[in-house]
Structure 1
């Protein structure tokens, strides 16, 4: 809900009334009998449905990490791999997120599919992706993305946009005559090997469905969690 407020200069500002903002979740339900046999199959199913629904970048996930002092950070990354081992994203190994992961070896990620009133939460230990697997994905990236990975000192302070543009131009000159740009030594993949994968479906009156795959010594178990 919003209201129009006239400013002192006669201009109209939109004041967001946060306490009154709410959405009725009535998009569906999630029962134990609806789940696929494994968390990977269920995640693929919901990814396919998000894509079919036209959700923008359905593989986008909010990655949360913590540094050595326990201070958290979150940002959006793209899931570029999914199998029984876990979910994979790629980044600069000198970035802030990589420094966090190197220290704690643990992360969580959430796929937020708002139009479907769904989300999936994954958390577990992390590991670096094998260089051969990284190279295979790297070869599929657009040339511009490859050049950007070489040029950007990710998470480091820069004096201005011009520094980034200058760095990119220098890399373009460096690889001008190179058909296949190599993987930067500071770049690669991280895999989250989940201990927990939770599937969340919005329901009326905030009585949401939360079904959680939990890794145990005897294999994966499914438990319902109160909203």
Structure 2
């Protein structure tokens, strides 16, 4: 008879609910074995939920492939609302065979999960592009136009030309067929992947900026208008990373 330790190791290799070994373990009356079996079922249920979520979020990509499109890029941005730092956009083309469980709107994920998914996206994607517009460029163009320009940059950075775009809530002036999807980062795997790449890229930049301007706490607030950030602005005034056209920063320049 297998020991509980051996059964634990064997269960780690079982992925099918009708696997004969699993059925055999379910009949084992040892308390330790029954705990392991229950744990396997809980984890299997989570795996199934991830699969179902991924399939549900692949509807747009699957539809476009059926219509003959091959390189479908999801496009999203991060950083429209902060008082400081750039707006960052990303474009991501995922392969048809891709499976990255847990893909979702980057705002719904922990930092650790975003970092983990970022690495998986980089490994599995057909192509990844990133566009970055600085605070001064945001002031020059306005945040809406700067966001579009960052998205265009991200698409241009792709080393494979997309033949279709899935864009989160924006319409881009490009000669490429596209679909604008409201809350696309929660309903499309490609847009979700782009949102994660953009978020991780921007957060890493803000942490680097925090070393140069530690007084603003950028490593914690990522440039958003937290009470800590506002208090630092009042005490120190703005730096070159602040968006001069955003309230309350623009009051410093009146």
TM-score, with length taken from structure 2: 0.24
- Structure number with the higher strand fraction is 1
Larger C-alpha radius of gyration, 1 or 2? 2
- Structure number with the higher helix fraction is 2
